Structure 1
Amino acid sequence: MLIGTGGLLTTTLVGYSSISLAHDAEDEHTKPEKNGHTKHRDKEERREDDEYGGIPGFDREEFELDSDVLSVKDLGFHEGTLKLSVIVETTDEDVLAEELRALVPAFNQAIREADVDEFFEAVEEFKFALYDECDVRRAALYLDVEWLRECLFGDLTTEEFVNRILMILGAVEDDGGPEGNNTD
């Protein structure tokens, strides 16, 4: 009988604790409105704010890659760093070079639809990562934010932008360790 009573007490305490934690979590994600009512925000809305809502001068809905082999894995902004991860569905370097051209019009549209000045004031770094179809990161590099500015204002062509990325990728691939440093 004592074991049964202890189990009931434990179950009651665990149930109370779970309800209390759920209530506390719910309070964290409520937003007071001007009229004194509380508006509850759902998980999807919070996730979207965390991931995309924080890119100043950037309209996430306008950022679309027109590519058959590239797709956005993740796009975010944190402490001055714009982070773009894409999934690449090819191993052909020529196809990749051609498809990377889709980055420029996508950025152009998303930034011009929002606020160019605000974007370039906020973004200090641009981290770009390529993943394969199995979600394995193949390359991660920092690109010069000024390249985006130059593309938007016509000082750098799309081809030059892509060539700069490919040069960095080539340097990363060539500097792959001791075997990459052979000078035969």
Structure 2
Amino acid sequence: MERRKILLGSGAALATVLAGCSSDETGSDSNNDDDEPLNDTNGDNGDGDDSDDADVPGLDRDKLELDSEKISIEEVNKDGDTVDIVATTTTTDPETLAAELQSLGETVAAAITDPEAFKAEINSVTWVLENDGAMVMSFYIDVQWAIAYINDEMSEDEFVQTVLDTADETQ
């Protein structure tokens, strides 16, 4: 499928660009402006170019936490009408990953605090799961699915299965 090739390619490119960009979480001070993630609140992406890509309308990043001991979110960035999420995982087993992602619906529902604002600006959320810097899985969430789940028009099992059906796995 061409969409999967595009998603896989963009996920790999995103992972490459974002590798090592977690300096805000580690407390280290980096002077390399090219590695600065677009997650500050003032819209400055570190290169002097004020950009509205830093904020994701209707999304509370602090609430974007999976209930998982094996997956942790490292980066959240807005690129046009897409939100890109890079997470690390301690497992490469697809069945274990699927089990760990069962809380995805709750996580998305908690993080989208203003569904209308989010839907007006964002079309999809792309996830890349990495293990030791290598992509293990990528998938995406269509915002319409998230809104349907939030509005109780889709069960959590249906939501998670729909999302996992978009997954590309690499071993």
Q: Which residue of 1 aligns with 2:78?
A: 77
- Amino-acid identity (%): 26
In structure 2, stretches of 5+ residues that fail to align are 1-32, 46-52
SS at match of 2:98: helix
TM-score normalized by the length of structure 1: 0.59
Separation in structure 1 between the aligned mates of residue 139 and residue 68 of structure 2, nearest angstrom: 21
User: What count of residue pairs does the alignment treat as equivalent?
Assistant: 127
Task: For 1:86-165, list aligned pairs within 5 A.
Answer: 86-112=87-113, 115-132=114-131, 134-165=132-163
Deviations for 1:61-101, whole angstroms, at most 9, x for unmatched residues? 22222111110021111211111122121233332112112
TM-score, normalized by length of structure 2?
0.63
Contact persistence 2:64–2:108 (CA under 8 A): yes
**Alpha carbon RMSD of aligned pairs, Å?**
2.8
> Matches of residues 26-37 of structure 1 in structure 2 within 5 Å?
none
Aligned counterpart for 2:40 among listed residues 41, 45, 48: 48
Task: Report if aligned partners of 2:136, 2:169 keep a CA contact under 8 Å in 1.
Answer: no
In the TM superposition, residue 48 of structure 1 has moved relative to its aligned partner by: 2.3
Say which structure, 1 or 2, has more relative contact order (CA 8 Å, 6+ apart).
2
Could you tell me how far 1:47 is from its partner in structure 2? 5.5
| Structure 2 letter corresponding to 1:144 | D
- Residues of 2 paired with 1:136 and 1:155: CA distance? 36
